């Protein structure tokens, strides 16, 4: 149910994560990315591309929402570290 809401697109092909990144809502973007599944699921998911061939990273750069970009890149780094640590155990 929640994954259906997170992957639902508007008329321009954007998902809620894209909109949160575009508007610079870093806390909401962090919440949305943590609800997209386990760390492995989030890393393996393809980045959503809207009807104008842009993704959330394009939107953040266009609007200058670098704080939001730092949050998303750090969560991916944390997830990768967790995956590597879990493989060692």
Structure token pair of residue 89: 């155990």
Q: Which domain holds residue 54?
A: 2-88
pLDDT at 1: 62
The rounded distance, in Å, linking the Cα atoms of 41 and 84 is 14
- Reported as a single tens digit per residue, the pLDDT across 3-44 is 778 888 999 999 999 999 999 999 999 888 888 877 777 777
Structure token pair of residue 63: 């609007």
The enclosing domain of 42 has a CATH number of: 1.25.40.20
- If one compares 64 and 44, the residue with the highest pLDDT of the two is 64
Structural domain count, the chain: 1
pLDDT at 76: 79
If you write DSSP's letter for every residue of 19-81 in order, what string do you get? HHHHHT-HHHHHHHHHTT-SHHHHHHSPPP--TTS--HHHHHHHHT-HHHHHHHHHHHHHHHH
Structure token pair of residue 82: 């967790």
First to last CA, the chain: 32
């Amino acid at each position: 149910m929640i994954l259906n809401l997170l992957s639902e697109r508007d008329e321009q092909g954007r998902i809620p994560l894209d909109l949160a990144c575009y508007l610079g809502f870093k806390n909401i973007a962090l919440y949305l990315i943590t609800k997209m599944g386990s760390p492995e699921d989030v890393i393996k998911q393809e980045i959503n591309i809207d009807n104008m061939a842009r993704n959330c990273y394009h939107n953040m750069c266009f609007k200058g929402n670098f704080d939001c970009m730092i949050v998303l890149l750090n969560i991916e780094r944390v997830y990768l570290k967790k995956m590597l640590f879990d493989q060692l155990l």
